[in-house]
Amino acid sequence: MRASILIDPERPKVKRGEVLRMIRDAGIEVTQREPDLGVVVGGDGIFSDYGRLISIPLLFVGVRSAETTASKGYLAEVHFDRLSEALEEIKRNRYRVLEYKRLRVAINGVARGEVFTDVYLEKGADSNCLRYHLDVKGKGLAFTDSAIANGVIICTSAGSTGYYSYIDKLRKSDRLEPDSYTLIGGDEVGVCHIAPVLTARDDTGYLPLRYTVPWGSSFRLSLTRDADARLFGIVRSRRGIRVRAGDYIDVRPSANTTRVIKLGPGFA
């Protein structure tokens, strides 16, 4: 069995040498050429990043921290302090591989990348609220959301514990419930307007905040007024991609999937 090591190249949560030692101690060869699996050590951001790029099965490994603002690692299958046990399970073929559907994103008709968890347009530091239209088309549906908001997120089932679930976390209104979130199904795509001032759907009188549509639906997002708008989720840069009025962003299903290693009970 051959494994590759995948960590944050800028801010790794653990040193590569520590991961290398644990994998080799488990009797697994470490290589970047034609590996059988990838060991991804980090938080949800790095899981999302490698998950959109790589097709081999991935083991998501979180890192425990006493720091309040550290990554919560909702997507982690195992924590680093139990990685050796997890690797032994994998060597004994005591695991399964789940496939998650991806989305693909184009800007002005040019393909820009794929999405494992979510893609979102959000206002930058030099902007007030964004003003935009979101056109949604799918089997038996076609509508347009218009909004003034901090932004909008489009997510797969893998991303539903993240930004998409901020409404659940705030539902009590007087206190935050960080472990409260709504999961969406593998055959759905989630849409959530971020802190909107106003939303409207066509002439229906409906004021959408968050909803799901069937997998296979397509989305076109465009600004109605220029602003410091940034698209996140398809590049590693923390500055995102600048989007201007006149640009259009298309989000559609991808033919590719992300393969995630799932272990037995007790490893999450």
Domain containing 115 equals: 102-255
Is residue 192 domain-shared with residue 242, that is, in the same domain?
Answer: yes
Is residue 110 domain-shared with residue 193, that is, in the same domain?
Answer: yes
First to last CA, the chain: 23
**Would the pTM of this model clear 0.85, i.e. be above it?**
yes
Is residue 60 domain-shared with residue 157, that is, in the same domain?
Answer: no
Question: Residues 193, 211, 123, CA angle at the centre, nearest 5°?
Answer: 15
Q: Is the dihedral of CA 122, 170, 147, 127 positive or negative?
A: negative
Region for 75 from its dihedrals, namely left if φ exceeds 0, alpha if ψ lies in -120 to 50, beta otherwise: alpha
Please say which residue of 94, 119, 136 terminates a domain: 94
Position 72 scores a pLDDT of 67
Q: What is the mean pLDDT of each run of 10 residues along the chain (268 residues)?
A: 93 92 94 94 93 96 76 85 94 94 98 96 88 96 97 95 86 75 91 96 94 97 95 89 96 97 80
